[in-house]
Structure 1
């Protein structure tokens, strides 16, 4: 700053001497020293602005000359200085350069300092010109920032055009179409941008209705849904990638996000329509999609869409809320969904669970899993909706016949939309049903048949599950509910109790019998039920008494565990590498008056743990599983461990319930969840971790998990493969033995671990690294008794590949053979 002070003195001296060239050089030197026009340049600029007009004109000329001869570094700074110096002289020096500089902001997200934008934008506006839309976007986005945006906030409030920021496909389309449709539509967009609060005010709604009244509701709906369909697509003006801000191109423009909230609320003011509910549900999921280093794209937009859904009357909106309740995991938005369903349940005089059941739409299916029409049918096959077509001669064809395309294109569109909706809803309903074991749900027979067994959509799941009806275990086969011996159930009273069958407490012969029954009838269950793992108390757990160490000392990928825990109904917080305390992962069990805790902690960096760009631990280590009364105080532990207790760093621990007092079904289901967390998120099943990860700290763990003793889930998988393998085309080359599926190829014999899917080459147990796809499809191996086991799909895919190892062409794999 002392050097800058000397430059200020020099600037005043040159100004007094009338030496504008030397003054210009001094200012350039000052700019080079500071690297910015502000701060520190106020006094030199004040010296410039105090010059007589004639001297100032000569100074401007000198600065313009230096701008033209300047460097890439100094030219933008000189442009600002010229823009300031020329104020009040009635001239517009470097106007073209200024416009080009502003247009150059097309790929900028925000600016750290708003000096340049403030100066250049003010000059453009003073000259009577509009700012380039790209520059307006930067100003608005920067103004939205809490700390450094204040400098541009006042300017942003004066910029009313364009109505939306350009650069997002939906906004570009909305701007173009609104301009073509007329001022009423531009006014609608402008009103939507004003949705800056969590809920619409009465005044906002009143004005929204006034803007909608002159317009055709169907036309407004179609136009708004067309815009929302483009939300989330790649930016038309992508931002420059910044190392400190990964994922910016996947986020919503914060200014346009307000407009999205407003559009969602405007849709709720229109007459209800199934397409509206569908579009709002899609907007929720798109807005909650995770962005690395940030989290959900825009929870505020998701919450606005949920609010809109909760205010729309009719079955489609209620069904979409119920579907979202089973699909989304972001706590803030899920709380909004729960509130919406709770309000609707109270209005209908029903329980929340009953509302979710009644809300499931049929999507036009006229019988369970089927909608026949003149040119084919829409049918549910397993977890997918399948459209088939026939021509006038009754022959199957791959696409809609020409007469149907010509005469009923809307029917084709409706069927394709229904198929997509069915796929989404089936997945959500399967997850909801899988959670009913711990929900202790029981139904009266008449209601159960209506909502489940005979429901056109849910029936496709219910008829692949096992139930107890008035105490009798049964399943659907052919055209009736049948007992284990295939005898049809007799008449059942309407009020007879129906529950989901669970293998806990059943005789092994009965469990084995139902597995054979499913196979005999070719029934593939939507999730494991007859083949469900059962976790009984071990001697070690009887010794520890109040906690289970069965799944302790594992290393998990934190983000994968966190996402899976949310899907399974557990509450968990991502652990950051900070001085803070966290509760354990918890599963609330209100129907049982219990709470389950899974104790976890971040892996210390010095011990080999990694930290993400957002400061979260990459990995966790696992510890005990405990059970407490539902109202027991919640424990906390430091993010990096150190033991759980009440309050921050407290060593006081509540008395956990003896495991022998925990109902067998609760114990089994909770431990099954934890086994699932370990089986999916453990670094031990990552084939690329042969070296043990960072610093090799986890090599021993990776080897013990990747090739060691089997969990209950892996043992069940082995039992299934032992029955399945003989029926495969490669059956003569495969057999299950111990912890492995052994596969005989032409080059080598291979051992695929039943728990991790990792591979060893016999006889020397050399490791073979084959990285599976992110979502491997289960190979066509004929009948499988259940859906959803990713590791089973990985093992079968690897077995198919290795049994024909002479046909392998992948160079990475060949180099290891």
Structure 2
């Protein structure tokens, strides 16, 4: 059937059936309708389905949400896999998030990649050309649409003049074509905002995790990508040469590279590239800040002026952070840490989450014992949470006072991991 239908019509038909199924209360005997989206669906289906999947666990339909992950994988386009990866990274229902992570890992393993390497390759170009623009065709009029360094849309008319926004279709325009093209422009702007937010988060996480790319990967995934190159140009990068040399550089609008003095830099083909933390740049951070200020470059996240924190000698020799114990924190501010990789504890008696944690390395977690704890049924019931104990453990679990061995010490942590951890805790406990 799909081969004989007009583009998009089979996807529209499948979605109409899906909506009827939802209205009927998701009857199990008709669940084939959900899976039909995986056969007939397209990128538009993905954009409609993803918010539904994110909400289903809260509506008592967790099983359906898990099935929906299979639908995204079955559609299999870059956009579908990108949305699947987004659920794996950011969804409030932990079980769905874990299953999405497993699904992404399955796809990545099949391709011989890690989940993050797959995500690098899934960043959509959204139909933009190599120069980062696309043409909106009204029939009698054509407009060039692109995005500036902050990924804000701009429009130029047929004479190259810049307009404030895309105009509404006029009487002389092809009404059907113009309406479709205007709809495409609206979807494009939304997709760019979503893509930019996701990539900013991923780039910041890559800096903290010290991920590296080959010179070839850096060129293909960052410098030449019609959207990501704008973000890459607002950051400082570090090239580690095979000869042991290390050079900090930035990318210019013409895709050339320059060091902190403005001298041209040629990236060696055998180099590896990473995003440096201020702890790597040292005194160069101030010099790079001056360069970016001179060129009016606003960073997508705090890199050069990022807070740098250090453990005290006594903390480095301990598995406790006493300075944060006894602090009282609004529960909303605490939950905000989940956007930075922190996780809520398992609900225990009466559905109370008694701890909060962050994985720092394999077999190493920072755990916070909470008082009164977060009540799953009514998160705001205990509006303030007191940090009873803050410690390192091999796994998130209840109270430090129980009989366990605690061999881990903060001094064993990577200095960037320790700095980021302390910055998180200082921010969340600030008055």
The TM-score with structure 1 as length reference comes to: 0.46
Written as runs of structure 1 = structure 2, the 5 A alignment for 1:330-345 is: 330-345=93-108
Cα deviation for residue 529 of structure 1 reads 0.7
Task: Summarize the alignment of residues 634-673 of structure 1 with structure 2, pairs less than 5 Å apart.
Answer: 634-637=396-399, 644-645=400-401, 651-673=402-424
Partner of 2:118: 355
**2:11 matched residue in structure 1:** 221
Runs of at least 5 residues in structure 2 that lack an aligned partner in the other structure: 241-245
The verdict on how the C-alpha distance between 1:418 and 1:658 changes in structure 2, with shifts beyond 3 A counting, is: same
Counterpart among 198, 203, 218 of residue 433 in structure 1: 203
Larger radius of gyration: 1
Secondary structure at 2:301 match in 1: coil
Other structure's SS at 1:553 match: coil
Please report the RMSD computed on the Cα atoms of aligned residues, expressed in angstroms: 3.6
User: Does 2:392 align with 1:627?
Assistant: yes
Displacement of 1:213 in angstroms is: 10
1:475 and 2:250 aligned: yes
Report the equivalent of 1:602. 371
The aligned runs of 1:191-230 (5 Å cut-off) are 218-225=8-15
Asked if structure 2 preserves the Cα contact closer than 8 Å seen for 1:383 and 1:423, the reply is no
Q: 2:185 aligns with which of 415, 432, 438?
A: 415
Q: Match for 2:221 among 441, 444, 451?
A: 451
2:369 touches 2:398 (CA, 8 Å); kept in 1? no
Q: Is the 8 A contact 2:367 2:392 kept in 1?
A: no
Query: What does residue 185 of structure 1 align with?
Result: none
Give the Cα–Cα distance (whole angstroms) in 1 for the partners of residues 306 and 160 of structure 2: 46
SS at match of 2:113: coil
Q: Are 1:565 and 2:337 an aligned pair?
A: yes
Change (3 A) 1:612 1:266: closer
Instruction: Give the whole-Å Cα distance in 1 for the aligned partners of 2:376 and 2:19.
Output: 36
| Rounded Cα–Cα distance in structure 2 between residues aligned with 1:620 and 1:308 | 39
Q: Aligned pair in 2 of structure 1 residues 429, 298: CA closer, same or farther (>3 Å)? A: farther
Unaligned stretches of 5+ residues in structure 1: 1-208, 232-251, 289-294, 638-643, 646-650, 680-704, 706-817
Q: Counterpart of 2:65? A: 302
For residues 754-788 of structure 1, what are the alpha-carbon distances to aligned partners after superposition, in whole Å with 9 as ceiling and x for unaligned? Answer: xxxxxxxxxxxxxxxxxxxxxxxxxxxxxxxxxxx
Q: Deviations over 1:323-366 (max 9, x none)?
A: 33333242111122212211211221222221111111100121
The verdict on how the C-alpha distance between 1:300 and 1:384 changes in structure 2, with shifts beyond 3 A counting, is farther
In the alignment, structure 1 residue 376 sits paired with structure 2 residue 143: yes
C-alpha contact 1:438 1:589 (8 A) present in aligned 2 = no
Do 1:383 and 1:427's aligned partners in 2 also have CA atoms closer than 8 Å? no
* Residue number in structure 1 paired with 2:263: 487
Aligned to 2:383, which of 609, 613, 618?
618
1:435 partner SS:
helix
Which structure dedicates a bigger proportion of its chain to strand? 2
Give how far 1:595 is off: 1.9
The question of 1:587 aligning with 2:358 is answered yes
1:323 aligns with 2:97: no
Alpha-carbon shift at residue 491 of structure 1 (Å): 4.4
TM-score (norm 2): 0.83
Q: Secondary structure at the match of 1:408?
A: helix
